Structure 1
Amino acid sequence: MINLTDYGIEMWDDEKIASFRRTLLNWYDNEKRDLPWRRTKNPYFIWISEIMLQQTQVVTVIPYYERFLEWFPTIEDLANAPEDKLLKAWEGLGYYSRVRNMQKAAQEIMENFGGVFPDNHKDILSLKGIGPYTAGAISSIAFGLAEPAVDGNVMRVMARLFEVNYDIGDPKNRKIFQAIMEILIDPERPGDFNQALMDLGTDIESAKNPRPDESPIRFFSAAYLHGTYDKYPIKLPKKKPKPLQIQAFVIRNSKGDFLLEKNLDGRLLGGFWSFPIVETDFIGQQLDLFENDTTSLQTVSQKALFEKDYQVTPDWTKREFSLVKHTFSHQKWTIELIEGMVTSDEVSKDKELRWVSLDQLQDYPMATPQKKMLAEYLKKID
């Protein structure tokens, strides 16, 4: 463990630590949220909830969680799930690499642990896609192990408690907050201790509009007592996502079916189906022109490239659609819809393409950008 005094942090004595634990857990016992994954000690269920809750609000997660466990009630079911069904279960949650990693981890459990979720921190941490936070959460909640679960919410609370003058967004500083938590965590109720801090960090001690006067631990908080609450946590701004212009080709055949393409694994949105899309350039590509829907983009048409790559020659319509916007963590897309009609169903054999009727679209896993594109298209043709 690191020496916290080297980072300007003076840890409390044992009596104050014990008092802090009691205060936090008493508050949790009275105020904790009744959530489906808190009614179980099943590590598989807890694991699913923790992965879903990463960057997704609780109210959004609950129906996903319940449906996921209905479709894949056991580790073996997850390990053997078909890709399309797996992605359909995750559709709309984003960060699709997470559910792929979950399936790989389930396969590891089947192969290396006889289908039984491992009950020690080291083995849990060895599973694909499970990092220190998730391993700590599962270890403490499911197995009662005194392992901290340190995420952004917990780091925010710790930064205010001890006036930690290090950027919580810098991965190399995580060890500071981990060391604090290893000392503070209640060995008798580690799962409840971690969950209490999670609840506190997502509500009263949230990043935006915190309510410090309502915090049950305010009299332990150096930032609260010293009037420096607004300074903590220290978090430097992230880089803005890169703006990209995309052209999406909405191609329909004589029956009205849509041409869909399955994105290749390893690419952004790999495994999902969408209208064929091509990245293009426009004047001002590096400028942030995404806030104004009326912005006129001087795009370079990709119709000729599309016709060559997909081996189709559509009759292009002149119908105009509103630009579709979608922001990822690292990219900000502006999507221009281009409509074309074909009389032949012949397309390139080098791509995974399929003609799909409007009624069948719901059976295909689609990421949020495709759902937005489809909604904009249907709005204009209805």
Structure 2
Amino acid sequence: MEREGKPSGISEVERAIAEALLRWYETHRRDLPWRRRRDPYAIWIAEVMLQQTRVETVIPYYERFLARFPTLQDLAAAPLEEVLKAWEGLGYYARARHLHEAARRLMEERGGEFPRTLAEWRRLPGVGPYMAAAILSIAFGQDIVALDGNAIRVLARLFAFDQDPRRPAGRRQLQQRAERLLPSGQAGAFNQALMDLGATLCTPKSPRCPECPLRAFCAAYAQGNPEAFPVRAPRRMLPHYDVTAGVIEADGRVLIAQRPLQGMLGGLWEFPGGKVEPGESLEECLQRELREELGIEVEVGEPLLTLRHTYTHMRITLHVFRCRIRSGTPQPIGCADVRWVPIAELDRYAFPRTDQRIVEWLRQEGSSSLTRQTTGRSRT
């Protein structure tokens, strides 16, 4: 354990806050599948999935993932492509790649034994300070504060904290104040109680203050402005990009490309294309991207779909065209792999959400069109 211990001189108010929170948690704790077991592996999987993803979304993915990879050994032995397919639709795919790599390291370097210190957990790919603290407190009972977004919101309102907790200095100060509340031997319950309180009552908008067990201690409630906390710096506008993708068909199959393993959406499959550069038309962009990525020259045909999607750091509009190869054979020049796949078998591959929508369109409307085109060409 890497914490120096509970600070001395804890006040009666601080003790009362922790006691009120834990009493509330005993009665109102959420019944979540990862709370039904103390297995570090299951808790780790849940914490990875819960990063930037709502609980309701995670639950079915979590249950399917553990059914497919019930142990650390199973996850480490599985091909990355299989792990990405199990993750498909959950988003933030770097989490799946890091999880798989960490599982392999744990098996190869530690014989399947899980770390017991913050420093050891932090050395694993994809594990940040919150996740390491959450696993150690919940799975191993160590007295460590773990602050997720919900817990930060509760504490910022409780103390009417006047700094931005997303900044390092603000985060450290809030962490120190939380440590003064931490009851010895009950860190797992304390951390999860803060999470549940933030998720159910102390919500970002319209918090249910009259039902809150900490209302009597809450400085923001006393001031009458709980929604003013946590303090946030102005949100910057997300950049927008136009992106193209080509649906290329031959003999009843479509061409898909695998993104490089490193980088955004690494290891996922997509309909090839890329970002429009300044001064380019959509058609020119798609021709250039397929030349650079696959080594082929194409004729850009009819537009099929226009899809919009927002990531955490940007917004895109994806313009999807039907294309025909004029010359060249597709090769993985700017991607990890290329394959010709029948439409009926596309569900074997893991795609980003936008490309999943192209697959859905092909199944519903495009497959008959592609079949007609193939039949027409075979008669000439």
TM tier, shorter chain? 0.7 to 0.9
Question: 1:360/1:99 Cα in 2 relative to 1: closer, same or farther (>3 Å)?
Answer: same
1:18-55 Cα offsets, whole Å, 9 max, x none, are: 21122111111111111111011111110110111111
Q: 1:375 aligns with which of 360, 363, 371?
A: 360
Q: Report the 3-state secondary structure (helix = DSSP H, G, I; strand = E; otherwise coil) of the residue aligned with 1:205.
A: coil
Aligned equivalent of 2:274: 278
The runs of at least 4 aligned residues of structure 1 exceeding 6 Å deviation read: none
Q: How much does 1:237 deviate?
A: 2.9
Q: 1:67 aligns with which of 64, 69, 77?
A: 64
The yes-or-no answer on 1:52 pairing with 2:36 is no
Aligned equivalent of 2:312: 329
Q: How many residues align?
A: 358
Q: Report the 3-state secondary structure (helix = DSSP H, G, I; strand = E; otherwise coil) of the residue aligned with 2:194.
A: helix
Question: 1:380/1:192 Cα in 2 relative to 1: closer, same or farther (>3 Å)?
Answer: same
Q: How much does 1:323 deviate?
A: 1.4
Paired letter, 2:312: S
Aligned equivalent of 2:35: 38
Q: How much does 1:177 deviate?
A: 1.5
The yes-or-no answer on 1:213 pairing with 2:210 is yes
Question: 1:348/1:114 Cα in 2 relative to 1: closer, same or farther (>3 Å)?
Answer: closer
Conservation of the 8 A alpha-carbon contact between 2:287 and 2:298: no
Q: Report the 3-state secondary structure (helix = DSSP H, G, I; strand = E; otherwise coil) of the residue aligned with 1:92.
A: coil
Structure 1: segments with no counterpart, 5+ residues: 2-10, 286-297
Q: How much does 1:87 deviate?
A: 0.7
CA distance in 2, matches of 1:224, 1:63: 36
Conservation of the 8 A alpha-carbon contact between 1:281 and 1:299: no
The yes-or-no answer on 1:21 pairing with 2:6 is no
TM-score by length of 2: 0.87
Conservation of the 8 A alpha-carbon contact between 1:28 and 1:196: yes
Q: How much does 1:197 deviate?
A: 0.5
Q: 2:154 aligns with which of 157, 174, 177?
A: 157
CA distance in 1, matches of 2:255, 2:240: 26
Q: How much does 1:344 deviate?
A: 8.9
CA distance in 2, matches of 1:42, 1:228: 40
Aligned equivalent of 1:257: 253
Residue pairs, 1:333-344, within 5 angstroms: 333-342=316-325
Q: How much does 1:142 deviate?
A: 0.9
Question: 1:65/1:112 Cα in 2 relative to 1: closer, same or farther (>3 Å)?
Answer: same
Conservation of the 8 A alpha-carbon contact between 2:301 and 2:323: yes
Question: 1:87/1:172 Cα in 2 relative to 1: closer, same or farther (>3 Å)?
Answer: farther
Aligned equivalent of 1:6: none
Aligned equivalent of 2:377: none
Q: Percent identity?
A: 38
Aligned equivalent of 1:7: none
CA distance in 2, matches of 1:307, 1:132: 41
Give the superposed CA RMSD: 2.5
Paired letter, 2:67: E
Paired letter, 1:144: G
Q: Report the 3-state secondary structure (helix = DSSP H, G, I; strand = E; otherwise coil) of the residue aligned with 2:52.
A: coil
Q: How much does 1:314 deviate?
A: 4.5
Paired letter, 1:118: P
Conservation of the 8 A alpha-carbon contact between 1:156 and 1:168: no
Question: 1:41/1:279 Cα in 2 relative to 1: closer, same or farther (>3 Å)?
Answer: same
Conservation of the 8 A alpha-carbon contact between 1:156 and 1:201: yes
Q: 2:285 aligns with which of 296, 302, 309?
A: 302
Aligned equivalent of 2:117: 120
Conservation of the 8 A alpha-carbon contact between 1:259 and 1:275: yes
CA distance in 2, matches of 1:39, 1:170: 34
Paired letter, 1:274: E
Question: 1:314/1:132 Cα in 2 relative to 1: closer, same or farther (>3 Å)?
Answer: closer
Question: 1:273/1:169 Cα in 2 relative to 1: closer, same or farther (>3 Å)?
Answer: same
Q: How much does 1:75 deviate?
A: 1.5
Paired letter, 1:219: A
Of stretches 123-132 and 67-76 in structure 1, the one that deviates more from structure 2 is 123-132
1:216-254 Cα offsets, whole Å, 9 max, x none, are: 11111011112232321101233222111111011111x
CA distance in 1, matches of 2:320, 2:108: 46
CA distance in 1, matches of 2:127, 2:287: 44
Q: Report the 3-state secondary structure (helix = DSSP H, G, I; strand = E; otherwise coil) of the residue aligned with 1:323.
A: strand
CA distance in 2, matches of 1:192, 1:261: 46
Q: How much does 1:380 deviate?
A: 4.6
Aligned equivalent of 2:245: 248
Residue pairs, 1:175-254, within 5 angstroms: 175-253=172-250
Q: Report the 3-state secondary structure (helix = DSSP H, G, I; strand = E; otherwise coil) of the residue aligned with 2:284.
A: coil
Conservation of the 8 A alpha-carbon contact between 1:247 and 1:277: yes
Aligned equivalent of 1:87: 84
Q: How much does 1:134 deviate?
A: 0.8
CA distance in 1, matches of 2:218, 2:168: 24
Aligned equivalent of 1:140: 137
